[in-house]
Amino acid sequence: MIGAESAQQISPIKSALDMGIHVTSHTDAPVALPNLMMILWTTINRVSRNGTIMGESERLSPYEALKTITIWAAWQHFEENQKGSLKPGKLADLVILDKNPLKVEPMTIKDIQVMETIKEGETVFKR
């Protein structure tokens, strides 16, 4: 079992953010399924499969976690002028969710469903 001190060394994401570093969250697809709601949940709650909190002080807020998969992810790939936020002239890549991850209990974020996915302005998935 990993102790609290070791757990914080695994991913000091909040510490990096506090130092002004753009941090990103992602998956190792195809090794791990690309479930971004689970990635958000993990980044926010930092709870292992057995319920252990892995570095509580390194938790991000839901708003910060959303930025790790949108604005900052686009920046990391040098695509911030085309992706990452909704602005005129950028690709209209977005999802419509059944609940607002900024307003639900953080432990329920993994249960949020994608209702529609829009890529470059066209619907590519609809529940």
Write out pLDDT tens, residues 80-107. 999 999 999 999 889 999 999 999 999 9
**pLDDT band at residue 79 under the 50/70/90 scheme:** very high
Cis amide bond preceding 30, omega within 30: yes
Given a cut of 80, is residue 2 above it in pLDDT? Answer: no
pTM of the model: 0.82
What's the pLDDT score for residue 10? 63
Higher pLDDT, 4 or 99: 99
Write out pLDDT tens, residues 20-49. 888 888 877 777 677 889 999 999 999 988
φ, ψ (nearest 5 deg) of residue 54 = -100, 85
